[in-house]
Amino acid sequence: MEQQKVKVLYVDDEVNNLTSFRALFRRNFEVYTAISAEEGRALLKEHRFHVILTDQRMPGTTGVEFLESIIGEYPDPIRILITGYTDIHAVIDAINRGRVSRYITKPWDEQELKMTIENAFEVYSLRQANIELTQKLLEANGQLDFMLRQKLLS
């Protein structure tokens, strides 16, 4: 069985960052890039992503605002915020509002970012497996409950 390739969306208003990211990680991951939050939302409608990375400082909307705006429709992807600025309020907002699991500073370290994405995918996969197992458990409990009722009626 072939291992699933991690689908990553990276949203950043700097074309050079998007180009570098795509060049560095296209062999490891299925990489999609977006130059704006709007373009990121359009890609989200077309693809199911495992990991979403976004720059914090973008024109029109911040990375946290973008992540917060997609939670309702796309709650499953693991979120990572990337920024060249260290702002404690942005970090707090990222965690509280955008449900960000990791905060990376620019310029990123290639190996660290690769490992971060791989770890994020592992968390994503474990969450999905947990959802599936919970569903199977609920179904099994329903069947046991049905069988118990049948036995009590007979």
Residue pLDDT, tens place only, 53-109: 999 989 999 999 999 999 999 999 999 999 887 767 767 776 777 788 888 888 899
Q: Could you tell me the pLDDT band of residue 1, with boundaries at 50, 70 and 90?
A: very low
Q: What integer pLDDT is reported at residue 3 of this predicted model?
A: 67
Please tell me the predicted confidence (pLDDT) of residue 2.
47
* Domain residue ranges of the chain, discontinuous segments joined by +: 7-153
Mean pLDDT for the chain overall: 90
- Alpha-carbon distance of 60 to 111, in angstroms, equals 31
In this prediction the pTM is 0.84
**H helix count then E strand count, the chain:** 5, 5
The mean per-residue pLDDT over the stretch 29-53 comes to: 97
What's the pLDDT at 152? 78
Helix, strand, or coil (residue 107): coil
Closest-CA residue to 103 (of 112, 94, 111): 94
**Under CATH, domain 7-153 is a member of which superfamily?**
Response regulator (3.40.50.2300)
Mean pLDDT of 39-58: 96
Instruction: Say which residues have a Cβ less than 8 Å from residue 104's Cβ, sequence separation at least 6.
Output: 53, 80, 81, 82, 83, 112, 113, 116
Give which of 93, 88, 106 is closest to 17, Cα–Cα.
106
